[in-house]
Structure 1
């Protein structure tokens, strides 16, 4: 028997020690006002946790972060646990995973992938194929919440990689996953349909400026601005990923996939009806709200998207074909759900919320340091500064808090500018900026899902995330603001 001894690779040990040292330094360092000591501790936990999640492991640092946050003063341990595993986002993601698993198990995903891969247009070249796949994510996210859209697109894309013969170490899936999820993020920022973030920003503007803003105004602003961003995404990915191996496309025989597709059976049909019926219920309140304020629309909004996801999973567990349910939920929960990804998402979302808590003073510090930068500079520069600050903040903290803080700051500056800055225009910019999360797991559940996906490379996410942050700041601050001013 080999003698056992305590041992760990030195690089891994150093990464852990450096991360813990950062946490310790922020824990005892004095807090510059208006930051609080609680805020300093939370920042330290945030930086140390992100480093360990990125460089060491994606599970135990998340669990450690919950314990540490419970000692920072921003929340008790019980509150931190409830805010992570007890969050509605985590429950919603779990239900989305079960729904997409059921769709995959029914055979519909294979059918959809085969249909997509056999289309003459998308098969013209590997890049046309990749951009087409990302465009599906963009369009889907325009009409439904980004989280289920991201879950569906990751499942769809991962099936494509398997059919093409790629492995999880190949570069192409890593690049394609980034394009697909970033397209989902942009699509969700383009419209107010089923997107609470857009409605939040519009509501803050209306309260601060005392003027109304229609859903059509946001739509007319968001679509062209988002399309500019999406074009930039495709161009930058195309130019910087020329050396990605796409030889698998040359050897791929689409007939090999098509021949496995038979007639749709009852089990598959019912699963598809339940799945897409749920998608309709997610989208219906948002679409209907653009045309009417009837009581039934308000009632549907009150249910929320998680209710319909839960109902969908229950129906799939109860409805049986040939004495077997569409899904055996116990088996799915025990053997098919990646709980490590859920824990990863849970701490990512909660870290963003903790950073934005009032007791940390972080939002107040950001506001007090941004406002002086906007004095004695041209209005367009003020708009770009505010927009860039919104993009930066939402990639580290909660997008809800980002939109709340930055829209409030932007509209206040505009109202005090004597007409030099358009209040509605800057409100539209800060609202869209708050949805442009590309970088860290703490920024958005979709990005946490991207980092946690086994076909993804976090290093590439960071590189392209920074590029997209810069692009979003400029596109929204220049193109978006001009469009917003023309509409209001």
Structure 2
């Protein structure tokens, strides 16, 4: 990797990088050994070293990735948390998380990796045995990829493959079987989106609203501990429904390899490097849960660093590592093409709005308390959870997902912060609202992929509405019975 890095920099830049690293190494040695160089307090020396090394890099190398390195180094100072750094630099941890995650995912999307994974599943000997195995492989691989890729971007990759599958099956526009499979395709992508917060703004926004209100973060691992089982339950119901309830008829279809996935070039050095880095980012997200008993110190650091730390590290590595003289990601290009700014803007507005709505001085708490208390008193915990889940489910299928997250989550948190004694785990409910906001099945305003599907002629608004509503009811049931039940156990330490 060091050879790859050196090929992308001029000699003067390499010298500057070495000088910068030596300054940082001196600060680490001074801190670890408590040497007290120049009779300067250790923390003061460390701050000055970070400033000096950053200045060298800014003046003689670049301003983008050295800035990320500067933020990372500041997080290692004693009594300093990454939450404080994000608050003072970008304003909010959730904003930072999405920004850097967009960058890391953009690098992955520029490779053939996603198509390669699809080809591995669809063109496999196992999938070619029968039409139902083929459909299972197709939907399963889309479910898997959607757990870490934006749903709209994935659908734009999957839709041409779907059309090629329809040609292979001998199905035409207007065919009921083609319509059912298209609904199942985008439903699978929606379910995978709900299962993890990785690169998925809906769940992250809900978790961010909870953290803003309670000062406690919900980790990716905690979210996935109940969201993955709930999502897999919905996916299983989808598969069962597709065959035995919707009665999709595949008796006359012909199987064969998908041509567009058969001639992919071999993975080059750039793709392998990008996939490795992306895998490392995902691993860092999940390690705090795994290392809790093995390496408690490392787990504690990763937890305190928060969810924005791994993609920030990943973005730095992608910008620094060069293959064939070019960086894996040019930050300026990644920021302009890979970062979805409208999502970041609404997240910023949502989190700020949520903090004001939950502020007792604003009077909203009192108003909501007086209106909703008579309605909530006497309801069982599961019924109360069901009310909020159904609310989020229906609203997200007729309006903006992020607006749904903002409104429903904020109201739940606001009620919980009032005098109303809610007998529910607010952390789990908030997370499940983000979960349900990902499950857009029914109408064009819900998600772009539904509008594209209906507009393509392969399905109709009626089919999307009917099949989508059917799935939505099962999704709400799974969120309550599976998601909330497991979440209440795994997140019992949270309120």
Q: TM-score range by the shorter chain?
A: 0.5 to 0.7
Question: What is the CA distance between 1:220 and its match in structure 2?
Answer: 0.3
1:247 aligns with 2:251: yes
1:141 aligns with 2:141: no
2:408 — aligned with what? Answer: 406
1:52 — aligned with what? Answer: none
1:437 — aligned with what? Answer: 440
Q: Superposition RMSD on alpha carbons, in Å?
A: 4.9
TM-score (structure 2 length as normaliser): 0.56
Cα distance in 2 for partners of 1:137, 1:391 equals 22
Return the match for 1:116 from 114, 119, 122: 122
SS at match of 1:144: coil
2:241 — aligned with what? Answer: 236
- 1:22-421 correspondence to structure 2 within 5 Å: 116-120=122-126, 122-242=127-247, 244-249=248-253, 252=254, 254=256, 257=257, 268-269=265-266, 285=281, 288-291=284-287, 292=302, 293=305, 297=310, 299=312, 373-415=375-417, 416-418=419-421, 420-421=423-424
Question: What is the CA distance between 1:410 and its match in structure 2?
Answer: 1.9
2:20 — aligned with what? Answer: none
Shift of the 150–163 alpha-carbon distance from structure 1 to 2, 3 Å rule, reads: same
Question: What is the CA distance between 1:178 and its match in structure 2?
Answer: 1.0
Cα distance in 1 for partners of 2:193, 2:202 equals 9
Shift of the 467–281 alpha-carbon distance from structure 1 to 2, 3 Å rule, reads: farther
Cα distance in 1 for partners of 2:144, 2:460 equals 24
Question: What is the CA distance between 1:132 and its match in structure 2?
Answer: 2.4
1:324 — aligned with what? Answer: none
Shift of the 285–196 alpha-carbon distance from structure 1 to 2, 3 Å rule, reads: farther
TM-score (structure 1 length as normaliser): 0.57
Q: Is the 8 A contact 1:191 1:222 kept in 2?
A: yes
* Deviation string, structure 1 residues 205-238 (Cα, Å, up to 9, x no partner): 1222333322211010111111111112222222
Shift of the 456–287 alpha-carbon distance from structure 1 to 2, 3 Å rule, reads: farther
Q: Is the 8 A contact 2:174 2:457 kept in 1?
A: no
Cα distance in 1 for partners of 2:162, 2:373 equals 43
Shift of the 388–372 alpha-carbon distance from structure 1 to 2, 3 Å rule, reads: farther
1:37 — aligned with what? Answer: none
Aligned pair count reads 343
Runs of 5+ consecutive residues of structure 1 not aligned to the other structure: 1-91, 308-313, 316-357, 359-363
Shift of the 290–453 alpha-carbon distance from structure 1 to 2, 3 Å rule, reads: farther
1:42 — aligned with what? Answer: none
Question: What is the CA distance between 1:241 and its match in structure 2?
Answer: 2.4
Cα distance in 2 for partners of 1:434, 1:205 equals 15
Question: What is the CA distance between 1:376 and its match in structure 2?
Answer: 2.8
SS at match of 2:147: helix
Cα distance in 2 for partners of 1:142, 1:184 equals 8
SS at match of 2:250: coil
* Deviation string, structure 1 residues 106-137 (Cα, Å, up to 9, x no partner): xx9699659724523x3454333222211111
Q: Is the 8 A contact 1:386 1:406 kept in 2?
A: yes
Cα distance in 2 for partners of 1:428, 1:261 equals 38
1:477 aligns with 2:480: yes
* Deviation string, structure 1 residues 303-327 (Cα, Å, up to 9, x no partner): 9xxx9xxxxxx99xxxxxxxxxxxx
Shift of the 441–475 alpha-carbon distance from structure 1 to 2, 3 Å rule, reads: same
Cα distance in 2 for partners of 1:114, 1:479 equals 31
* Deviation string, structure 1 residues 383-423 (Cα, Å, up to 9, x no partner): 10011001111111211121122112223334545362222
Shift of the 394–286 alpha-carbon distance from structure 1 to 2, 3 Å rule, reads: farther
* Deviation string, structure 1 residues 347-394 (Cα, Å, up to 9, x no partner): xxxxxxxxxxx9xxxxx9xx7987654233222211100110011111
Shift of the 288–428 alpha-carbon distance from structure 1 to 2, 3 Å rule, reads: same
Q: Is the 8 A contact 1:141 1:184 kept in 2?
A: yes
